[in-house]
Amino acid sequence: MRLGITANSEVPEAIRASRKVLSNLKGHDIVMERGIAHLFGKEGLPVEEMDIDILITVGGDGTILRSLQRTDAPIFGVNAGVLGFLAEVNENEISTGIRRLLDGDYFIEERIKLRTEVGGKRLFDATNEAVVHTAHIAKIRHFHVYVDDQLAMDVRADGIITATPTGSTCYAMAVGSSIIDPRVDAFIIAPMAPFKFAARPLVVPASSRIRVELAKPKPCMCVVDGQQETFMDGNEKACFRLADSKARFIRFERDFYKKTREKLVCAP
């Protein structure tokens, strides 16, 4: 088994945790991402060029989301951030987690992703969400949202979030959407700060084709998983549908509700 390692090299906690990961993988076939490799005096490769079976990410959820845009390998997340909702182990669980990983004592959880296009240009698939929002702070926009060519929303708002079940515990949740069990194949469409109180989030089948248009061409941005930003002059259509690929995670337990309760519902 060949393992890749990537980490947020700007976070001291991630560097420290990476050192622990490496010490537990002595003698094993590993390749490191360039950003972290040079800190340990090693050669590295970009994640997208790695020929690996599993990618170990060390950092927060952003590190995981960024990695999922660059590899189809299953992700084994080591949390060295604040929340780490998508990660499987914390820093104090690295030794046990690596041992179970090497022993094959795990399963792979698959989650749907969101295919994203703006003006006909393909962007990265989203694991969490794609957001179309105003390019200028405190400037409302008038959006038309279509689901399978039917007008589903005619709303003035700061933006429109289109989220997967994975993303339902992230940005969409922050604007009042429901949490969706990741086993459910569905998307959430949620307006951000809508002008009408009655404008509520929609849950639609994952088979839906979603299109976001502006009633009048005004500058906006499309942001995928908080990682990729694309400017929109307002004439483009943002189109979303089920991606062919899935996000894959190394898991030891089927504990979605436990994790939700501990990290989101009851978190300090």
pLDDT tens digits along 167-223: 999 999 999 999 999 999 999 999 999 998 889 999 999 999 999 999 999 999 999
pLDDT of residue 82: 75
Selection from 100, 101, 94 nearest residue 74 by Cα? 101
* Contact partners, residue 180, CB within 8 Å, separation at least 6: 165, 168, 186, 188, 203
pLDDT of residue 86: 95
Selection from 21, 24, 241 nearest residue 33 by Cα? 21
Angle at 266 between CA 260 and CA 267, to 5 degrees: 90
Q: Is the pLDDT of residue 14 over 70?
A: yes
pLDDT of residue 267: 55
User: Percent of the chain scored above 90 by pLDDT?
Assistant: 87
d(C-alpha 74, C-alpha 54), whole Å: 5
Average pLDDT of the chain is 95
pLDDT band, very low/low/confident/very high, at 264 (cuts 50, 70, 90): confident
pLDDT of residue 266: 63
In total, the chain counts a number of residues equal to 268
The answer to whether domain 3-106+252-265 and domain 113-244 are alike in fold is no
What's the rounded mean pLDDT across residues 35-52? Answer: 93
d(C-alpha 105, C-alpha 102), whole Å: 8
Q: Which amino acid is at 6?
A: T
Q: For 22-80, give the secondary structure using H, E and C.
A: HHCCCCCCEEEEHHHHHHHCCCEECHHHCCCCEEEEEECHHHHHHHHCCCCCCEEEEEC
User: Where do the domains of the chain lie?
Assistant: 3-106+252-265, 113-244
pLDDT of residue 268: 52
pLDDT of residue 84: 86
Domain spanning 113-244: which CATH class is it, in words?
Answer: mainly beta
- Supply the pTM of this predicted model: 0.93
pLDDT of residue 81: 74
pLDDT of residue 126: 98
Pick the catalytic residue: 51, 61, 154, 158? 61
Q: How is domain 3-106+252-265 classified at the CATH fold level?
A: Rossmann fold (3.40.50)
DSSP letters for 73-137: SPEEEEE-SS--SS-SEEGGGHHHHHHHHHHT--EEEEEEEEEEEETTEE-PPBSSEEEEEESST
- CB of 226 within 8 A of CB of 65? yes
pLDDT of residue 196: 86
What's the rounded mean pLDDT across residues 2-30? Answer: 95
Selection from 174, 181, 177 nearest residue 190 by Cα? 177
pLDDT of residue 60: 93
pLDDT digits (tens, 9 = 90+) for 106-150: 999 999 999 999 999 999 999 999 999 999 988 999 999 999 999
d(C-alpha 187, C-alpha 126), whole Å: 12
Whether 103 sits among the annotated catalytic residues: the reply is no
